[in-house]
Amino acid sequence: MDQLEMKKLAAQAALQYVKADTIVGVGSGSTVNCFIEALGSMKNQIKGAVAASKASEELLRQQGIEVFSANEVSALDIYVDGADEINPQKMMIKGGGAALTREKIVAALAKKFICIVDTSKQVDVLGSTFPLPVEVIPMARSQVGRKLVALGGAPEYREGVVTDNGNVILDVHNFKILNPVEMEKELNNVAGVVTNGIFALRSADVVIVGTPEGAKIID
């Protein structure tokens, strides 16, 4: 079974958490694209969705699902998103698609965060296989880069990428994130950082892993 098939298994399994007459929070990325496609089968049962990226908004509309802005809702029943890495404590690194800030905003609205991944995303320590994305105000790029170096990281400017918020991304290599909560707080306090890709303060409530044997739910 290839990676895409495992992503589809996880995405399909997430539908069981979608309740009728609710607005669904939807993240971004390749696994979420599979979920949006599956969610199309429920378009007449739900009210609509709040999306964490413009790309996801477009895919939702293609499925005939009404898109709401985060400002139009006070809370969401669930938020479904993928991860670039996830540890056994359900904490994640996200931001490979440069939508990390909006993903944190929509996740914060949700009563339940459901993370859908394939087996390749599971790690014991965050930062093991994937650099940490940090969204930065453009004028602060060099300043933030120096701070990240001082913390032991090796930041790399993601060339040609501008976030939906008009900012830039620094991908930080060489971070082994042993205390994700403290690291998330510390990086977010650096002047010029919009947010970083550690999702520890708001970790997942449910993880659905697509495996060759089927979808495994970690609740």
The answer on whether 28 is annotated among ligand-binding residues is: yes
- Based on the residue annotation, tell me whether 103 is a catalytic residue of this protein: yes
Residue 188: its H or E element:
helix 180-188
Residue 31 among known ligand-binding residues: yes
- Judge whether 95 is annotated as a binding position: yes
Query: Nearest Cα to 183, choosing from 148, 145, 136?
Result: 148
Environment class of 6 (CB within 10 Å of its CB; exposed 0-12, middle 13-18, buried 19+): buried
Ligand-binding annotation for 77, yes or no, is no
Q: 29 a known binding residue?
A: yes
Torsions phi, psi of 78, nearest 5? -140, 155
- Tell whether 94 is in a known binding site: yes
Question: What's the CA gap between 58 and 64, in Å, rounded?
Answer: 10
**How far is C-alpha 103 from the geometric centre of its chain's CA atoms?**
5
Instruction: Check the annotation: does 97 bind a ligand.
Output: yes
Q: What is the DSSP letter of 28?
A: -
- Angle CA 56–62–64, to nearest 5: 110
Q: Does 30 appear as a known binding residue? A: yes
Determine which one of 85, 103, 135, 184 is catalytic.
103
Annotated binding-site positions: 28-31, 81-84, 94-97, 121
Annotated binding-site positions for substrate: 28-31, 81-84, 94-97, 121
Task: Supply the residues annotated as catalytic.
Answer: 103
